[in-house]
C-alpha cells in the first residue's frame, strides 16, 4: 500500500544542512501496525510528515496506493490527505471555539459532504469513542484523554486507509494513554494501517513492527518477537 524509495530530506539550519532523512526505504501493507522510534532529532517526525503528505522529500519516490505522490501538485496532495490519511497529534489540535461534535465534523465539511449525512456520521463516530454525552462540550471542558479521543474520531471520520499518530500519548497520563493506544489498536484490528511515532518503548513495543531511526536513517526494522505466552 505504501512504498518509500530512497527518500531524502534535508533542512537548512543556519549555515548547516541537517539531513533529517537519508535514503529511507519503507514498505507498508494494508492493515500494518508499525511504530517509529528513535531519539529526538532522528527524523521520525519528518518521516511521519512525509508519509502524511504534509512535507515533500527532496529526492526519492513515495507511492501511495500505486500513485507516485511526488508528482502530485499541492491541491491533489490536499485531496489525497483528506480522503486517505488521518492524523492524531500529540497536542490534539482541536479548535477551541468549536464543540467536540463540530471538531469531528470538520473533515466532512472540508470534503463538502451533505449536512444530514454529516450529523449522522459524527454521532456514530462519537459513539464509537464513547463520547456521546460530550458532543456539545468544548475542548477546554474535556479531559486530556477525551480530547485525544475526539481527535481520533476526527481522524477516522473520513474512513482513511492510513492513520498517523505523532506521540499520541505524549500529553496524557498513563491511564488515558493506555486507553488511547487501545482505541488506536482496535481501529487497526478493523483494517486501518496504523503508524505510531513515539519514544516510549512500552508503546513502541506493542506494534507488530518497530522501526528504529538514528540520524535520519532506519537502523532497525524488527517484527515484534512472538508474544511470550508460556510462563
Partner 1 sequence: MKLADAFGFGVMALTGARSRTWLMLLAMAIGVASVVVLTALGEGARRYVANEFSSLGSHLIIVIPGKVETTGETPPMVGGTARDLTLEDALAVERSSAIRLIAPLTLGAAPISYKQRERDITVMGSTAALMPVRNLELARGKFLPEADPTRENAIAVIGDKLKKELFGNKRALGEWVRIHDRRFRVIGILKPLGESLGMDMGDIAIVPVASAQSLFNTEGLFRVLVQAEGREAVPRAKQAVIDIIKKRHDDEEDITVITQDALLSTFDGIFRSLTYTVSGIASISLAVAGILIMNVMLVSVSQRTAEIGLLKALGGRREEIMRLFLIEAGLLSAAGSAIGIAIAYSGIWIMGQLYPEFPLIIPLWSLAAALGISLFTGLLFGILPARRAARLDPVVALAGR
Which residues in this chain contact partner 1 in the complex, by CB under 8 A?
A: 49, 52, 54-55, 74-75, 78-79, 81-83, 87, 89, 93, 95-98, 102, 106-107, 109-112, 115, 154, 158
> Nearer to partner 1 by C-beta: 106 or 135?
106
In the chain, the N- to C-terminal Cα span, in Å, equals: 37
> Nearer to partner 1 by C-beta: 18 or 106?
106
Beta carbon of residue 154, minimum distance to partner 1 (angstroms, whole number)? 8
> Nearer to partner 1 by C-beta: 83 or 202?
83
> Nearer to partner 1 by C-beta: 95 or 208?
95
Cell of 134: 460530550
CA 46 distance to own-chain centroid: 12
Beta carbon of residue 91, minimum distance to partner 1 (angstroms, whole number)? 8
Q: What is the 3-state secondary structure (H, E, C) of 71-140?
A: HCCHHHHHHHHHHHEEEECCCCCCCCCCCHHHHHHHHHHHCCCCHHHHHHHHHHHHHHCCCHHHCCCCHH
> Nearer to partner 1 by C-beta: 166 or 210?
166
Beta carbon of residue 202, minimum distance to partner 1 (angstroms, whole number)? 26
Beta carbon of residue 113, minimum distance to partner 1 (angstroms, whole number)? 9
d(CA 130, CA 73): 38
Q: Helices 100-110 and 115-128, interaxial angle, to 10°?
A: 130
Beta carbon of residue 103, minimum distance to partner 1 (angstroms, whole number)? 9
Amino acid at each position: 500500500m505504501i512504498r518509500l524509495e530512497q527518500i531524502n530530506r534535508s533542512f537548512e539550519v543556519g549555515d548547516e544542512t541537517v539531513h533529517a532523512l537519508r535514503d529511507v526505504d519503507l514498505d507498508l501493507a494494508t492493515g500494518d501496525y508499525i511504530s517509529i522510534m528513535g531519539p529526538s532529532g532522528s527524523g521520525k517526525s519528518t518521516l511521519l510528515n512525509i508519509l502524511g503528505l504534509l512535507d515533500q522529500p527532496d529526492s526519492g519516490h513515495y507511492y501511495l496506493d500505486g500513485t507516485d505522490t511526488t508528482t502530485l501538485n499541492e491541491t491533489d496532495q490536499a485531496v489525497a490527505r483528506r480522503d486517505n490519511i488521518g492524523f492524531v497529534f500529540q497536542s490534539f489540535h482541536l479548535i477551541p471555539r468549536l464543540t467536540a461534535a463540530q471538531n469531528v465534523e470538520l473533515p466532512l465539511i472540508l470534503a463538502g459532504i451533505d449536512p444530514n449525512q454529516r450529523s449522522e456520521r459524527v454521532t456514530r463516530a462519537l459513539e464509537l469513542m464513547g463520547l456521546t454525552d460530550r458532543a456539545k462540550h468544548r475542548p477546554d471542558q474535556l479531559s486530556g484523554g477525551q480530547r485525544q479521543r475526539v481527535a481520533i474520531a476526527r481522524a477516522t471520520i473520513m474512513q482513511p486507509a492510513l492513520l498517523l499518530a505523532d506521540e499520541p500519548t505524549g500529553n496524557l497520563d498513563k491511564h488515558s494513554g493506555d486507553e488511547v493506544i487501545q482505541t488506536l489498536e482496535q481501529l487497526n484490528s478493523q483494517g486501518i494501517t496504523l503508524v505510531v511515532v513515539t519514544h516510549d518503548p512500552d508503546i513502541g513495543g506493542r506494534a507488530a513492527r518497530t522501526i528504529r531511526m538514528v540520524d535520519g536513517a532506519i537502523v532497525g526494522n524488527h517484527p515484534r518477537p512472538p508474544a511470550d505466552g508460556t510462563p
